[in-house]
């Protein structure tokens, strides 16, 4: 058999043609398998995750919604009070006036003091709730609404014991009203939004949380009040007094009332449930009657009693029990009349154990005026039961 040799140039051309054909085939196969880059593959869309804060707050801040719900019902309260100053009699002596002539200084015996606070509208008829210390002894009260309207305010009632007051304005019967919540539902860690006019800056909003509940006025350092405060870290400054403390839904849960000059970032508010009850009495009677016993007291524990008794310089020996130690008895008070003495330890009232001063104060506050309370005291090694008839608290100072 005869074989013919293929020229080398033809062999090289055939190899190149074969390579090109194979490349075309592979390219077409890939285009059939791979999806188009211009269109996403079905069911492969990527979901962008949001932060927990955005999920909780949403696209619009809950603070904005809360403030918008109550903001128009928050008012500014401006007060004026005339005080009389004591003038040195020498300055009134005609001799000195003749001697000094026109250069003698003219002393004015009166001075105008101006105050600023906040409040909020409880009723469409113009009933406003604020702090007692905002309007107490004011000669003139001016209420400014958020829309700029101003009205003369009339103080309907003041209760210094709870630091609450009711003011009335005549502005028609279609005023915005602040929605009231319930302080019973408030928990530590809840949002707290303070609204008011601190330092004269109208319509100011600050945000924080509820730091603790039932902080007694004695712990706060306000011994002449009978309150359990809501403590918050929302910024509260002078001028916030009387303004609302809101929850995250824009409901009033408290009334901003106190700050501590020695503690930054701590404020206190009167629970709204207490305020509602007091406001109703102030509207009806113009005052609130508070029963009292007439003792100054502190909470006593066996440990504290032992510390006292081990001190050789201690004036009295105290029973080492849980109860309330009587530090002082007010003269002519119900306690004095009943025979309670300094150094007595109150351990029961009407057969109910008493362990703290706040508990005793609450029992007395909840009693009826003129009610006879059976007070069990530990006096040295003896126990006595004394009958104490409550009387009306006249002067908290």
How far is it, in rounded angstroms, from Cα 63 to Cα 117?
22
Catalytic residue among 78, 133, 159, 228: 133
Could you identify the residue written with the tokens 């603070």? 63
Residue 245 has what DSSP assignment? E
Tokens of 339: 């025979």
- Active-site residue, selected from the candidate residues 78, 159, 163, 228: 163
b/e per residue 110-129 (b: at least 16 CB within 10 A) = eeeeebbbbbbbbbeebbbb
Q: Tokens for 18?
A: 């074969």
Handedness of CA 361, 371, 329, 354 (dihedral sign): negative
CA distance 318 to 308: 7
Active site residue 133: yes
CA distance 217 to 162: 10
Q: How far apart are CA 195 and CA 202, in angstroms?
A: 9
Q: Name the DSSP class of 247.
A: -
Dig out the tokens for 45 from the structure.
Answer: 């869309």
Residue with tokens 């130690």: 325
Write down the catalytic residue from 72, 118, 241, 367. Answer: 241
3-state secondary structure of 335: helix
5's torsion region: left (phi>0), alpha (psi -120 to 50) or beta? Answer: beta
What is d(CA 184, CA 165) in angstroms, rounded to the nearest whole number?
Answer: 22
Residue of 318, 298, 338 whose CA lies nearest to 378: 318
How do strand 228-232 and strand 244-246 relate by DSSP bridges? unpaired
> N- to C-terminal Cα distance for the chain?
138
User: Given CA atoms 183, 189, 190, 192 in this order, what sign does their dihedral have?
Assistant: positive
**Secondary structure (DSSP) of 151-200:** EE-EEEEEETTTTEEEEE--S-S----PPB--GGG--TT-EEEEEE-GGG
Catalytic residues: 133, 163, 241
């Amino acid at each position: 058999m005869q074989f013919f040799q293929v020229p080398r140039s033809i062999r090289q051309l055939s190899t190149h043609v074969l390579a090109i054909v194979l490349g075309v085939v592979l390219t077409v196969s890939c285009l059939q398998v791979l999806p188009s880059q211009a269109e996403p593959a079905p069911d492969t869309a990527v979901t962008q995750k949001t932060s927990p804060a955005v999920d909780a707050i949403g696209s619009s801040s809950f603070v904005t919604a809360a403030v918008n719900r109550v903001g128009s019902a928050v008012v500014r309260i401006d007060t004026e009070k005339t005080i009389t100053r004591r003038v040195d009699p020498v300055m009134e002596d005609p001799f000195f006036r003749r001697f000094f002539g026109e250069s003698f200084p003219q002393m004015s015996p009166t001075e105008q003091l101006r105050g600023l606070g906040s409040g909020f509208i409880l009723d469409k008829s113009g009933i406003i709730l604020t702090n007692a210390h905002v309007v107490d002894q004011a000669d003139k009260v001016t209420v400014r609404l958020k829309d700029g309207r101003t009205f003369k305010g009339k103080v309907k009632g003041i209760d210094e014991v709870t630091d609450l007051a009711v003011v009335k304005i005549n502005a028609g019967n279609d005023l915005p009203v602040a929605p009231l919540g319930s302080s019973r539902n408030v928990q530590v860690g809840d949002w707290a939004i303070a609204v008011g006019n601190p330092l004269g800056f109208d319509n100011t909003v600050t945000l924080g949380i509820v730091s603790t509940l039932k902080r007694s006025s004695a712990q706060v350092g306000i011994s002449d009040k009978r309150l359990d405060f809501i403590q918050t870290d929302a910024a509260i400054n002078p001028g916030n007094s009387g303004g609302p403390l809101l929850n995250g839904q824009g409901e009033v849960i408290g009334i901003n009332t106190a700050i501590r000059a020695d503690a930054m970032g701590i404020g206190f508010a009167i629970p709204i449930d207490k305020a509602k009850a007091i406001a109703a009495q102030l509207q009806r009677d113009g005052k609130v009657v508070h029963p009292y016993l007439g003792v100054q007291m502190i909470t006593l524990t066996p440990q504290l009693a032992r510390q006292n008794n081990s001190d050789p310089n201690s004036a009295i020996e105290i029973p080492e029990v849980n109860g309330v130690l009587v530090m002082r008895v007010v003269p002519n008070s119900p306690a004095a009349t009943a025979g309670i003495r300094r150094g007595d330890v109150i351990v029961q009232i009407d057969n109910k154990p008493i362990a703290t001063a706040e508990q005793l104060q609450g029992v007395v506050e909840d009693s009826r005026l003129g009610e006879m309370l059976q007070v069990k005291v530990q006096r040295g090694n003896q126990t006595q039961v004394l009958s104490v008839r409550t009387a009306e608290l006249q002067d908290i100072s």
